[in-house]
Chains A and B, each alone.
Chain A
Amino acid sequence: MTLDHPVPIKDLKSDVKPIWCPGCGDYGVMHAVLKAISELQLDPAHIVIASGIGCSGRFPAFVKTYGFHGIHGRALPLATGVKIANPNLTVLAVSGDGDGLSIGAGHLPHAARRNVDITYLVLDNAVYGLTKGQPSPTSAWGMKTKASPYGTVEHPLNPVAMMLACGTTFVARGFSARPQELAEIVKQGILHPGFAFIEIISPCVTFLDTYAFYKQRVVSIPENHDRTDRMAALALAFETEKIHLGIFYQDPDSHPHHTTLSEMRQKISGSYSLQALLERFRR
């Protein structure tokens, strides 16, 4: 649902003061998302933001859309239920890297298989922020924390490559410190009719300050990248020298889950009557 005018970003913020530490990447992400909502002239009463648990999971409380702050790792199934129940809603889901890629990782391939029309933002700080600094599925190998005093012995995931391999119809990466570019990616993700997975690098200044690291390495995806080419996207995702930002892949023929469902219903329904159904059981 769009309005005939944009809602200014300041009017999209709720009265709840964010609990995030000063300098946390999540502020940048929030600004970019609100900018995208404003510029797309979306009606906040028709937006639902579902989230899991983590610093990132607090996101819905700070914006004036509908929101659902659920349990750890379940933002995607929650958002899936919302979208199926009312396809007219714009549905976003927000997770951290622990929420989305560890406890909730089992839902990722299935959201991709369904191609449910959700924009999924994974705020990746490569650490567990809310629980105070444990390693996460994207932490670098050997990272020392209180929970891994001798260094982690697990290798980090590559979320973009993983989601490309799952058949996701829209895969992108953004950076909280580049809010203009991020807002554009989020906009494209919302407009994409299907499952849009966006990994957002969003550093945790308190437990793992990676701003300097990323600022040296991030580059925008080259102009000449063909974003309808999944294999080319995978090659970019696996590049190690540079960390690419932008839209890796978008399926131009994406057919969203709710459309498939309504086509199926149209094929079978005709006129429904419970009384007629009961008659099938009359002796």
Chain B
Amino acid sequence: MPINDIVIRVAGESGEGIVTIGEVFVRIAAFSGLEVYTFRTFPAEILGGHVIFQARIADRPVLSQGDDINVLVSLNQEGYDTHVSELEAGGIVIYDDAVVTPRDSDRHLLYPIPVSQIANSLNFPRGSNLVMVGAMVQLMGLPFERAEQVVRRRLGRYAEMLPKNLEALAAGYRYAQERFPSHPPAYLVPPEQIAEEKLVLTGYQAIALGALAAGCRFFAGYPITPATDLMEFMASELPKAGGTVVQAEDEIAAINMVIGASFAGLPSMTATSGPGLSLMIEAIGLASMAEIPIVVVDVQRAGPATGMPTKTAQGDLYMAFYAGADEAPRFVIAPSSVEDCFYQTINAFNMAELYQMPVIILSDQALAPRVETCTFFNLENIRLWKRQLAELKPGQPFERYKITHSGVSPITIPGTPGGQYVAEGLEHNEQGHPDYSPEMHRLMTKKRWNKVNAARHHVFGLENAVEEWGDQDAAIGILGWGSSLGPVKEAMVRAQAAGYRVAALFPKILFPMPDVRIRRFIRGRRILIIPELNSLGQFARVIEHRYTRQLVQDSISVISLNKYDGLPFRPVEIFEEIKRVSALLTRRTWPR
């Protein structure tokens, strides 16, 4: 029975307060000094539809949502029936016995809590969720004072309801205490002292805070699951900082507004999901051509067209890298955890501003709404890179697109006397005047790509541009990107404990590709496993293409581990692949 590393799943109908129960409970755990990591599904419909809120809670950093469920909280029969098969043998079921009848009762430990009845007896039928939270706090061994604090903080907005809510919480806690005097076999032990300074927040909040820290003062977007939360957070916070959020009429308008605002001097951002990014592609080409810094967040979701708006994927890599007319250089960054979202967003703004380029941040449906505990962000260590302003010389025409070694041409901001120029989406000369001559197009194409090369040499000096860990001399290397980092890390801990040797590398900045780091990483390996939430193995194909010679010369095989069911990787899936691939290597026929 696990102690201090527990996966709790709350399941039922949306609208039953599944998310409230889950969110309040994980915050109580976090405020008690434990680490949390959540995973939630969204109902297909706004009203009704099945949802789960899952939390993994531990006394050490949590890297993934975990594999098995240890505790199932169900508020209706369907929630129980759908998920009980994933509950480990001997696992715990906490349920409302007025509506749920456990069928497989021998395999699990049952903790019935008559939540509606208790809430009704308080004359507060809506309080049944907090009755459940109170019972869960007691059963899982969390301190009641912390629970009270969290409820005060989270629900304090509804001041007139607060006494009732606290009463419901206490009633649930008391009921569980009296009915089940001894702990269930799986429970949590919060640390005596809450040591490090921590934040508890979601991936989209971390991106928004990173944007604010990077000086973003303009945001335009169009609602789309799962990126809307980001827009709503910005809508509440950006005006306080003197900035503006516009809900545009569509994604095309949104990105063009962002380009206009950045041209006028403000660091600017938009956020969308795959369908919206498709609509923005032409304008991303414009930002690339006219050399205007912008940041575009793509919270990836599953499927083409409308696909599965509430499911996750990593299928927009090709689009982020290549989509658009002819060739439009851009940067692509993929954060891998909630904490990373904050720092990579700062990298995104820095790269956009310094190199006057569009930057796409690839998040995903699992990472954006996920709640994680992370080390408190240190605002003092943040260094911002700004766009380089031109020094204007009287009498000399300003050359907006001047050819330079790095490709970066100093810019002016409208309002600057003598700095007038036209930001040009047509091919142009150094003055920004349209010019279609063969020499000019060659020169300017090179200039724009030179910025990518300059960035390649520059940004990989950043300590958070890549993350590399594991056994340096291992024959098996895992190369991945984005939010699959957590499950990979966790699988590797297990693999190493089981005697397997594995190394791993996750570039966070994917475009430009950190060639030096990747070449060094793959040197001496025999197999590269590339796990991705897409069916083509998009990153794997990029790697194969880019490092063909080295892979062929050194007989290194690339094995794609593709998952495309709308769900994130579980550590066990990576671990099984490590085992399978290790077995392959021991075959005599495997190329040496």
In the assembled complex, B180 has its CB within 8 A of some CB on chain A: no
The answer to whether B30 touches A48 (Cβ under 8 A) is: no
Of A66-74, A149-157, A160-168, A187-195, the one contacting chain B is: A66-74
Of B100-108, B137-145, B411-419, the one contacting chain A is: B411-419
The answer to whether A61 touches B209 (Cβ under 8 A) is: no
In the assembled complex, B164 has its CB within 8 A of some CB on chain A: no
The answer to whether A74 touches B263 (Cβ under 8 A) is: no
**Chain A residues within an 8 Å CB radius of B424:** 61, 69
* CB < 8 Å neighbour of B209 from A70, A79, A265, A277: A277
In the assembled complex, B488 has its CB within 8 A of some CB on chain A: no
In the assembled complex, A235 has its CB within 8 A of some CB on chain B: no
The answer to whether B433 touches A274 (Cβ under 8 A) is: no
Of A84-92, A199-207, A211-219, the one contacting chain B is: A84-92
A86 to B265, CA, bound (A): 8
* CB < 8 Å neighbour of A77 from B31, B200, B260, B263: B260
Q: How far does the Cβ of B231 sit from chain A's closest Cβ, in whole Å?
A: 16
For window 35-90 of chain A, which residues contact chain B by CB distance below 8 Å?
A: 43-46, 48, 50, 53, 58, 60-61, 64-71, 74, 76-86, 88-89
Q: How far does the Cβ of A55 sit from chain B's closest Cβ, in whole Å?
A: 13
**Chain A residues within an 8 Å CB radius of B420:** 44-45, 64-67
* CB < 8 Å neighbour of A107 from B249, B286, B376, B416: B249
Q: Provided the pairs A272-B241, A282-B199 are in contact, do residues A67 and B423 lie with their beta carbons within 8 angstroms?
A: yes
In the assembled complex, A275 has its CB within 8 A of some CB on chain B: yes
Q: Which of B209, B285, B418, B423 has the most CB of A within 10 A?
A: B423
The answer to whether B417 touches A45 (Cβ under 8 A) is: yes
A270 nearest in chain B by CB position: B240
A69 to B256, CA, bound (A): 12
* CB < 8 Å neighbour of B256 from A46, A81, A282, A283: A81
In the assembled complex, B213 has its CB within 8 A of some CB on chain A: yes
A65 to B421, CA, bound (A): 7
Q: How far does the Cβ of A174 sit from chain B's closest Cβ, in whole Å?
A: 24
The answer to whether B268 touches A281 (Cβ under 8 A) is: no
**Chain A residues within an 8 Å CB radius of B212:** 274, 277
Q: Provided the pairs A69-B423, A80-B260 are in contact, do residues A88 and B209 lie with their beta carbons within 8 angstroms?
A: no
Q: How far does the Cβ of B221 sit from chain A's closest Cβ, in whole Å?
A: 12
The answer to whether B253 touches A77 (Cβ under 8 A) is: yes
B433 nearest in chain A by CB position: A16
In the assembled complex, A269 has its CB within 8 A of some CB on chain B: yes
Question: Binary interface profile of A, 226-264, with partner B (CB < 8 Å = 1, else 0)?
Answer: 000000000000000000000000000000000001001
A1 nearest in chain B by CB position: B415
Chain B, interface SS category: mixed
Q: Provided the pairs A86-B414, A272-B242 are in contact, do residues A81 and B379 lie with their beta carbons within 8 angstroms?
A: no
A269 nearest in chain B by CB position: B240
The answer to whether A269 touches B239 (Cβ under 8 A) is: yes
**Chain B residues within an 8 Å CB radius of A48:** 263-264, 414
**Chain B residues within an 8 Å CB radius of A80:** 246, 253, 257, 260
* CB < 8 Å neighbour of A78 from B249, B250, B257, B422: B257
**Chain A residues within an 8 Å CB radius of B248:** 77, 110
Q: How many residues of B contact A (CB 8 A)?
A: 66
**Chain A: number of interface residues, binned into ranges:** 35 or more
The answer to whether B376 touches A282 (Cβ under 8 A) is: yes
Q: Provided the pairs A106-B249, A269-B242 are in contact, do residues A278 and B290 lie with their beta carbons within 8 angstroms?
A: no
The answer to whether B252 touches A283 (Cβ under 8 A) is: no
Q: How far does the Cβ of B155 sit from chain A's closest Cβ, in whole Å?
A: 15
The answer to whether B414 touches A272 (Cβ under 8 A) is: no
**Chain A residues within an 8 Å CB radius of B422:** 60-61, 66-69
The answer to whether B253 touches A61 (Cβ under 8 A) is: no
The answer to whether A85 touches B433 (Cβ under 8 A) is: no
Q: Provided the pairs A81-B268, A272-B241, A277-B212 are in contact, do residues A70 and B259 lie with their beta carbons within 8 angstroms?
A: yes
* CB < 8 Å neighbour of B419 from A45, A76, A85, A109: A45
In the assembled complex, B51 has its CB within 8 A of some CB on chain A: no
* CB < 8 Å neighbour of B239 from A65, A85, A265: A265
Q: Provided the pairs A70-B286, A106-B249, A274-B213 are in contact, do residues A81 and B200 lie with their beta carbons within 8 angstroms?
A: no
Question: Binary interface profile of A, 102-133, with partner B (CB < 8 Å = 1, else 0)?
Answer: 00001101100000000000000000000000
The answer to whether B373 touches A82 (Cβ under 8 A) is: no
**Chain A residues within an 8 Å CB radius of B418:** 45
A68 to B250, CA, bound (A): 21
**Chain B residues within an 8 Å CB radius of A81:** 218, 220, 256-264, 268
Q: How far does the Cβ of A44 sit from chain B's closest Cβ, in whole Å?
A: 6
In the assembled complex, B266 has its CB within 8 A of some CB on chain A: yes
* CB < 8 Å neighbour of A68 from B283, B290, B415: B290
Q: Provided the pairs A60-B422, A81-B256, A106-B250 are in contact, do residues A45 and B244 lie with their beta carbons within 8 angstroms?
A: no
**Chain A residues within an 8 Å CB radius of B239:** 261, 264-265, 268-269
The answer to whether B264 touches A85 (Cβ under 8 A) is: yes
**Chain A residues within an 8 Å CB radius of B160:** none
A106 to B285, CA, bound (A): 21
For window 230-256 of chain B, which residues contact chain A by CB distance below 8 Å?
A: 237, 239-242, 244, 246, 248-250, 252-254, 256
Q: Provided the pairs A46-B415, A77-B248, A81-B218 are in contact, do residues A283 and B30 lie with their beta carbons within 8 angstroms?
A: yes
**Chain A residues within an 8 Å CB radius of B376:** 278, 282
**Chain B residues within an 8 Å CB radius of A65:** 420
**Chain A residues within an 8 Å CB radius of B213:** 274
The answer to whether B425 touches A71 (Cβ under 8 A) is: yes
In the assembled complex, B197 has its CB within 8 A of some CB on chain A: yes
In the assembled complex, B390 has its CB within 8 A of some CB on chain A: no
7 smallest CB-CB distances across A and B, nearest first, come from A81-B260, A85-B264, A81-B257, A67-B422, A77-B256, A81-B261, A85-B261
What are 17 contact pairs spanning A and B, CB under 8 A?
A61-B424, A70-B259, A70-B286, A74-B252, A80-B260, A81-B264, A82-B261, A84-B244, A85-B268, A86-B264, A264-B239, A265-B239, A268-B239, A277-B209, A278-B376, A282-B200, A283-B194
Q: Which residues of B contact A (CB under 8 A)?
A: 27, 30-31, 33, 194, 197-201, 205, 209, 212-213, 217-218, 220, 237, 239-242, 244, 246, 248-250, 252-254, 256-266, 268, 282-283, 285-286, 290, 373, 376-377, 379, 414-426, 433-434
For the complex with contacts A81-B220, A81-B262, A89-B415, 14 further pairs of A-B residues with Cβ separation under 8 Å are A44-B420, A46-B414, A65-B420, A66-B420, A67-B421, A67-B422, A71-B285, A78-B257, A81-B259, A81-B261, A82-B260, A84-B244, A107-B253, A283-B200
Q: Which residues of A contact B (CB under 8 A)?
A: 1, 16, 43-46, 48, 50, 53, 58, 60-61, 64-71, 74, 76-86, 88-89, 106-107, 109-110, 261, 264-265, 268-270, 272, 274-275, 277-278, 281-283
